[in-house]
Chains A and B, each alone.
Chain A
Amino acid sequence: MRMTYREALRTALTEALSADPRVFLMGEDVGRYGGAYAASKGLLEQFGPDRVRDTPLSESAFVGAGIGAALGGMRPIVEVMTVNFSLLALDQVVNSAATLRHMSGGQLSVPLVVRMATGGGRQVAAQHSHSLEGWYAHVPGIRVVAPATAHDARWMLPAALREPDPVFIFEHAMLYPEEGEVGEEPGPLPLFAAAIRRPGRDVTVIAHGGSVGKALAAAEQLATEGIEAEVLDLRSLRPLDDATILESVRRCHRAVVVDEGWRSGSLSAEIASRISEGAFFELDAPVARVCSAEVPIPYPKHLEDTALPQPDGICAAVRGVLQPAQAAGAKA
């Protein structure tokens, strides 16, 4: 069935609230306003104010309340408006959510799901546009996933609710209106597995979330030049699916990592490093990266577009790791 990413999320939330009385949704404007991105539109009317709760503008308080509820046996879904705002709750995440199982010797469990928007492209300037999911992926004790398709938006949430530990779901803000095919079943892929979105043989382009579509667009363009790029959607940022990443790189012998985060100390750095650790002797070129410019994401459209990874830049990076063996178009 075709639906938007937003509708897929709403379907998943509706199902979760219907299926399990322990599940409730809370966050800024999730109730009366229907969610900053309208993911929860109509849910307050359907499930009432006990199950769909508007919170004060205090990320630390409502994420902390979510952790407490999870410890108390509930299955809270906490929505944070953007990853930029979530930094106010980092103490709760890093010092409580991620540590309690460990510090209690396994007696405590925090089955919390936190959803938030990430990424740029909407001209909402430097305090609403960053891609900081890589920071979360740094933290042991939590899980981090990034649905890039409507199908994953629909099915990652129920899988996350089944996890005994905190799961953070990063929804790229540009994806909400994107339409895609949503299957009836989650499919064979586990929550923490990467997916090959387009098979290829010349280079592995690794992306997640909002960059997957850009990588696919780049692959489409490259195909007209005779370059077959394989597009790998990470899906899970923590844990990383090393096996799928390395298998693809060992086959294609070249890799380009696309990451909307800043380059220095980024998730892309981690992935490139794992590739050189695990597939060094299969590499035919240095691993290339396409990341956001190391600036606060600008407000003007032309500057914002320039600061973010774009299909043209991905194409250029791919040609760079193939130059000039393939890119000249002279290859049979």
Chain B
Amino acid sequence: MGEFRMPTLGADMVAGTLTEWYKHPGDVVNRGDIIAAVDTDKGSIDVEVFEDGVLERVVVEEGQKVPVGTLLAVIGSGAGAPAPAAAPSPPAAAAQVPPPTPPSAAAPAAPSPSAAPTAAPLPPAHGVRASPLARRLAADLRVDLTGITGSGPGGAIVKEDVEAAAARGGGDRSARMRRAIAAAMAKSNREIPHFYLATTIDLGAASAWLAQWNAAHPPAERLLPAVLLLKATALALLEFPELNARWEQESLQPAAEVHIGMVTSLRGGGLVIPAVHQVNRRTLPELMREVRELVQRARSGTLRSSDLTDGTVTVTSLGDRGADAVFGVIYPPQTALIGFGTPAERPWVVAGQVVPRQVVTASLAADHRASDGHRGGMFLATIARLLQQPEGL
């Protein structure tokens, strides 16, 4: 019998709100199925199940906020009788979060023969029942309506509820995300002794190969330079496992696969780091497709739990934002963050001649507990070497 628990969807997450069950008791579930949605400080996340079976029992109801690790549902073989209901059992160490008290039913207004009959409550639009004014105000104040308890007619969220949420700062998704980023980054700089290295890489060969590839393929199959950088990084990491690892409990725990967390800025502000899985084993077109989908999911707020939890290392690519190099802050408990500046044409010496070349500055922020500068330098040199043979990527 399996236990489906509230996952950690970020290093600093202590609790999440179960917002929706996509599967119900009796439903067959397969590994990888998205069975629930969880609301966290970083957004609404679809959560996957990691085993095959039957959803036997739901322990946490929709709308409840529970600590990480709390049993949410029981997955069984489907053969046995449903287990007796048990109260949610958070791990002893986890912080207690009181479940929200359900709003008490409003006393109905005295019936009046001359008053218009009260219409039956309409099904809520987009899952939230809110007045037009509340919706407009929420948009202006950047308050997230989900999770606000309405005090208006029929439990609708009204202006006052939005104002109260804005005053608490609790409903403001971007403020919550900012706090989550702040917590993770502060923890990182507090605990991780960073060291930084950078090297400029000649992209001449990679650019030429890419131009050739893109000329030969329809737009849907064309590649961006970013996937070459990702693939080269992943292959290099295979040779430097201490940079694709976690530092936990005073020891290095190398990861079995290379899942690269890709820093993705959101249009509304803030960022998320969804992971591209098994980058070292993927072909470039596969990677391109996955990156494209991942960015789309991140921006539309439909990331899955595995997107956010599986990263073993982080890459931040400044793309066309104009900076030459980035010296990042490691996302704990990872041990490295690799940065790429904006590729640009620079004077470059080739065979004694100064020629214009497309170059990029690659940088490494590494945990000095896990690695040293010597290894870090070799790692960056490996990326540079791999990028000289793009056809091998």
Q: Which residues of A contact B (CB under 8 A)?
A: 253, 263, 280-286, 288-293, 306-310, 312-314, 316-317, 319-325, 327-328
Select which of A283, A313, A322, A325 is within 8 A of B113 by beta carbon.
Answer: A313
Q: Are A317 and B112 in contact (CB under 8 A)?
A: yes
Q: Are B114 and A292 in contact (CB under 8 A)?
A: yes
Q: Are B107 and A325 in contact (CB under 8 A)?
A: no
Cα distance, A313 to B112, chains bound together (Å) = 5
Which residues of the other chain, A, contact B113 by a CB distance below 8 angstroms?
293, 306-307, 313
Cα distance, A327 to B151, chains bound together (Å) = 11
In the complex, which of the residues B107, B115, B156, B159 has the most CB atoms of chain A within 10 Å of its own CB atom?
B115
Which residues of the other chain, A, contact B156 by a CB distance below 8 angstroms?
285
Instruction: With CB as the reference atom, state the residue of chain A lying closest to B112.
Output: A313
Cα distance, A322 to B119, chains bound together (Å) = 15
Interface residues of B in 112-134 (CB under 8 A from A): 112-116, 118-119, 131-134
Select which of A284, A312, A319 is within 8 A of B131 by beta carbon.
Answer: A284
Q: Are A313 and B133 in contact (CB under 8 A)?
A: no
Whether A284 contacts B116 in the complex (CB less than 8 A), given A323-B109, A324-B151, A325-B151, comes out as: no
Which residues of the other chain, B, contact A290 by a CB distance below 8 angstroms?
112, 114-116
Select which of B110, B114, B115, B158 is within 8 A of A285 by beta carbon.
Answer: B158
Q: A283-B132, A284-B152 are in contact. List 10 more A-B contacts (CB 8 A).
A: A253-B131, A281-B135, A284-B158, A285-B131, A285-B152, A288-B116, A313-B112, A317-B115, A320-B115, A328-B106
Contacts A/B (CB < 8 Å), 18 sampled: A253-B131, A280-B132, A283-B131, A284-B133, A285-B131, A285-B152, A285-B158, A290-B114, A293-B113, A308-B114, A316-B111, A317-B112, A317-B116, A319-B109, A322-B152, A323-B109, A324-B151, A325-B158
Cα distance, A285 to B160, chains bound together (Å) = 12
The minimal Cβ–Cβ distance linking B139 to chain A, given in whole angstroms, is 10
The minimal Cβ–Cβ distance linking B96 to chain A, given in whole angstroms, is 28
Which residues of the other chain, A, contact B134 by a CB distance below 8 angstroms?
284
Whether A316 contacts B153 in the complex (CB less than 8 A), given A282-B132, A284-B133, comes out as: no
Which residues of the other chain, B, contact A310 by a CB distance below 8 angstroms?
112, 114
Whether A320 contacts B118 in the complex (CB less than 8 A), given A284-B159, A293-B113, comes out as: yes
In the complex, which of the residues B111, B136, B153 has the most CB atoms of chain A within 10 Å of its own CB atom?
B153
Select which of A253, A263, A280 is within 8 A of B116 by beta carbon.
Answer: A263
Cα distance, A290 to B109, chains bound together (Å) = 14
Cα distance, A52 to B151, chains bound together (Å) = 60
Whether A253 contacts B115 in the complex (CB less than 8 A), given A321-B153, A324-B107, comes out as: no
Those 6 A-B pairs whose CB atoms lie nearest each other, nearest first:
A313-B112, A313-B114, A324-B106, A316-B112, A284-B131, A325-B151
The minimal Cβ–Cβ distance linking B175 to chain A, given in whole angstroms, is 24
Which residues of the other chain, B, contact A285 by a CB distance below 8 angstroms?
131, 152-153, 156, 158
Cα distance, A76 to B158, chains bound together (Å) = 52
Instruction: With CB as the reference atom, state the residue of chain A lying closest to B130.
Output: A284
Which residues of the other chain, A, contact B160 by a CB distance below 8 angstroms?
325
The minimal Cβ–Cβ distance linking B250 to chain A, given in whole angstroms, is 53
Instruction: With CB as the reference atom, state the residue of chain A lying closest to B135.
Output: A281
Whether A291 contacts B153 in the complex (CB less than 8 A), given A284-B134, A285-B131, A323-B109, comes out as: no
Select which of A280, A307, A325 is within 8 A of B114 by beta carbon.
Answer: A307
In the complex, which of the residues A253, A263, A293, A324 has the most CB atoms of chain B within 10 Å of its own CB atom?
A324
Cα distance, A289 to B160, chains bound together (Å) = 23
Which residues of the other chain, A, contact B153 by a CB distance below 8 angstroms?
285-286, 320-323
Which residues of the other chain, B, contact A323 by a CB distance below 8 angstroms?
106, 109, 152-153
Instruction: With CB as the reference atom, state the residue of chain B lying closest to A214.
Output: B114
Instruction: With CB as the reference atom, state the residue of chain A lying closest to B113.
Output: A306
Q: Are B159 and A288 in contact (CB under 8 A)?
A: no
Which residues of the other chain, B, contact A288 by a CB distance below 8 angstroms?
115-116
Which residues of the other chain, B, contact A324 by a CB distance below 8 angstroms?
106-107, 151
The minimal Cβ–Cβ distance linking A145 to chain B, given in whole angstroms, is 24
Cα distance, A108 to B308, chains bound together (Å) = 78
Instruction: With CB as the reference atom, state the residue of chain B lying closest to A272.
Output: B116
Instruction: With CB as the reference atom, state the residue of chain A lying closest to B151.
Output: A325
Which residues of the other chain, B, contact A327 by a CB distance below 8 angstroms?
109
Cα distance, A281 to B153, chains bound together (Å) = 16
The minimal Cβ–Cβ distance linking A130 to chain B, given in whole angstroms, is 15
In the complex, which of the residues A285, A291, A317 has the most CB atoms of chain B within 10 Å of its own CB atom?
A285
Which residues of the other chain, B, contact A280 by a CB distance below 8 angstroms?
132
Cα distance, A312 to B135, chains bound together (Å) = 31
Cα distance, A14 to B391, chains bound together (Å) = 104
Whether A312 contacts B112 in the complex (CB less than 8 A), given A253-B133, A284-B133, A324-B107, comes out as: yes
Cα distance, A235 to B133, chains bound together (Å) = 28
Which residues of the other chain, A, contact B136 by a CB distance below 8 angstroms?
281-282
Instruction: With CB as the reference atom, state the residue of chain A lying closest to B118.
Output: A320
